[in-house]
């Protein structure tokens, strides 16, 4: 069995977008995870979800890996982007759109605009 850091590295490199969260993209288990998964789902982003509640080593390991104390954590092209507050700010400012475009990640631009309009 590989250690948590190795498993995390393999996972964040295995998909363009990875969300470490409590629960799954279809059934989030906390409000913060639900918000980030909801944004990604609404924007039509194809992402891999990792339920940290299924594995205590991963739950602590992801915090150590990113040096970020909270979950959820979003990774794009293997790079840590941020948690719920950062993803919310990036969504509302359009920075998340820019990141997806630069990274070649497909998303629904109209949905992103609707999120911004609803929060204006």
Binding residues for [2Fe-2S] cluster: 30
Q: What is the DSSP string of 19-85?
A: EEESB-SSSBSSHHHHHHHHHHHHTT---EEEEGGG-HHHHHHHHHHHT--SS-EEEETTEEEE-HH
Binding residues: 30
Place of tokens 């293997």: 78
Which element (helix H / strand E) includes 93? helix 84-93
Q: Is 111 left (phi over 0), alpha (psi -120 to 50) or beta?
A: alpha
């Amino acid at each position: 069995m590989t250690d948590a850091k190795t498993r995390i590295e393999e996972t964040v490199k295995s998909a363009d977008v990875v969300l470490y969260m409590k629960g799954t993209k279809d059934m989030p288990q906390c409000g913060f995870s639900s918000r980030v998964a909801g944004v990604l789902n609404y924007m039509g982003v194809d992402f891999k979800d990792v339920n940290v509640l299924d594995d205590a080593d991963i739950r602590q390991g992801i915090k150590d890996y990113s040096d970020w104390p909270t979950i959820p954590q979003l990774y794009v092209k293997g790079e840590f982007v941020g948690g719920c507050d950062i993803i919310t700010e990036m969504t509302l400012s359009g920075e998340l759109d820019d990141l997806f475009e630069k990274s070649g990640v497909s998303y629904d631009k109209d949905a992103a605009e609707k999120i911004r309009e609803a929060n204006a």
